[in-house]
């Protein structure tokens, strides 16, 4: 059995498609593209290699994945690539671009089971985790690190080199220029912290005592008026008994662009 390829599609002989892959009309798949089992490629999709796409993905019409970065230093023959995991839904007009030589591995990566809505842009060298929902026109500039279970409202804009922690929610139209602490909600232009993502945590089965610890940490960080050094000292005491607070403290210590505070 061979992959189900529409006769108007163009698939390079050097592309590797699992026999269960389906390719729609007028799609173009270039050399160096590898696609895993049960992935569906709609019509008018363009896939450029080097790129690996995992199992069970759905890629809708007019998506452009694996194209050369918009970074002006990028060259077509740079040894950079895209990796996309399993079970992602990638809707119309989504762009996911290759990494650059500015990063050691030249990789742009998307994890598993992400819901990526229309016209989302994932720029060069971004690392996107799993189980995220990126609403229409969300845009990630280069080198963004996006965690797991993040929800981005429509038209969220994330500045280059920002880190977004796990379980974050961004309100529609948010402009993010700094790192966003795990478990919180931000909104605005520029974005500001609005509280913890209590509803998201509830939906994911967080215990009441864990939510309480996260909320106390949020109050200390954002509402106490203390210096960040003092905040970190107090967080360190709670971190010994709460893995979630420990994660928040580690995130603060690893932040390179300062917090969206």
CATH 3.50.50.60 for domain 4-143: no
pLDDT at 103: 83
Architecture of domain 203-254: Up-down Bundle (1.20)
- CA 178/CA 158 separation, integer angstroms: 8
* Distant-in-sequence, close-in-space partners of 216: CB < 8 Å, separation ≥ 6: 238
Catalytic entry in 44, 124, 143, 159: 124
Give the tens place of pLDDT for each residue, 109-151: 999 999 999 999 999 999 999 999 999 999 999 999 999 999 9
Catalytic residue among 36, 54, 85, 142: 142
Is residue 66 annotated as a catalytic residue, yes or no?
A: no
Rounded to two decimals, the pTM is 0.95
Residues of the chain with pLDDT under 70: 1
User: Which tokens sit at 54?
Assistant: 């995992």
Taken in order 128, 129, 135, 136, the sign of the CA dihedral is positive
Cα 3 to chain centroid distance, Å, stands at: 29
So where are the chain's domains?
Answer: 4-143, 203-254
Q: What is the pLDDT of residue 249?
A: 96
Residue 44 annotated among the catalytic residues of the structure: no
User: Pick the catalytic residue: 30, 44, 85, 125?
Assistant: 125
Provide the pLDDT for residue 1: 47
Phi, psi angles (nearest 5°) of residue 107: -115, 135
pLDDT for the residue 260: 77
Residue 261: the pLDDT is 73
Residue 254 a catalytic site member: no
Share of the chain above pLDDT 70, in %: 100
- Work out the number of other CB atoms within 10 angstroms of the CB of residue 119: 19
- Report pLDDT for 215: 97
The residue whose two tokens read 């007009």 is 93
Confidence (pLDDT) at 104: 79
CB 102 within 8 A of CB 121: no
């Amino acid at each position: 059995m061979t992959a189900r390829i529409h006769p108007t599609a163009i698939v390079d002989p050097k592309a590797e498609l699992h026999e269960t892959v389906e390719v729609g009309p007028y799609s173009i798949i270039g050399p160096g593209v590898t696609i895993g089992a049960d992935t569906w490629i709609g019509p008018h999709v363009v896939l450029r290699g080097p790129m690996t796409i995992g199992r069970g993905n759905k890629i809708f019409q007019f998506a452009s994945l694996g194209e050369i970065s918009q970074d002006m230093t990028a060259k077509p023959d740079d040894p950079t690539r895209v990796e996309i995991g399993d079970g992602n839904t990638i809707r119309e007009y989504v762009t996911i671009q290759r990494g650059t030589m500015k990063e050691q591995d030249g990789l742009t990566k998307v994890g598993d089971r992400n819901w990526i809505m229309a016209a989302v842009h994932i720029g060069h060298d971004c690392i996107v985790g799993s189980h995220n929902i990126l609403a229409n026109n969300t845009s990630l500039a280069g080198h963004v690190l996006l965690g797991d279970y993040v929800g981005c409202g429509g038209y969220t804009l994330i500045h280059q080199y920002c880190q977004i922690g796990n379980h974050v929610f961004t309100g529609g139209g948010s402009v993010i220029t700094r790192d966003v602490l795990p478990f919180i909600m931000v909104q605005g232009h520029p974005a500001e912290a609005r509280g913890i993502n209590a509803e998201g945590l509830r939906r994911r089965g967080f215990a009441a005592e864990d939510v309480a610890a996260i909320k106390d940490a949020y109050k200390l960080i954002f509402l106490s008026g203390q210096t960040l050094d003092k905040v970190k000292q107090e967080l360190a005491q709670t971190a010994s008994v709460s893995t979630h607070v420990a994660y928040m403290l580690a995130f603060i210590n690893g932040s390179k662009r300062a917090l969206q505070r």
